[in-house]
Structure 1
Amino acid sequence: MNGGVHRSGAAIAEFGEPPARNRVHSEPVTGAKIDLIDALMRTQRMLSSQLSAAFTPFGVSWAGYEIMQLLVRFDRSPVSILAMARHLERHWTSIAHTLNGLERAGHVIRYRNPAYRRENLVELTDAGHEAWIRAGEALAETAALCSSDADSAAALLAGLGSVERALRTIR
Structure 2
Amino acid sequence: MTAPSRRRVLCLCGSLRRVSSNRAALQAARQLAPASLELAMYDGLAALPPFNPDDEAGPLPAPVLALREAVGQADALLAACPEYAHGVPGAFKNLLDWLVGSLEFPGKPVLLLNASARGSHHAQEALAEILRTMSAELLSAQPFPVALPGAGCTAEQILASAERRAELRAMLDCLAGELA
Give the TM-score category using the shorter length: under 0.3
Greater per-residue helix proportion: 1
Largest Rg, 1 or 2: 1
TM-score with structure 1 setting the length: 0.23
TM-score with structure 2 setting the length: 0.22
Greater per-residue strand proportion: 2
Higher RCO structure (Cα 8 Å, ≥6 apart): 2
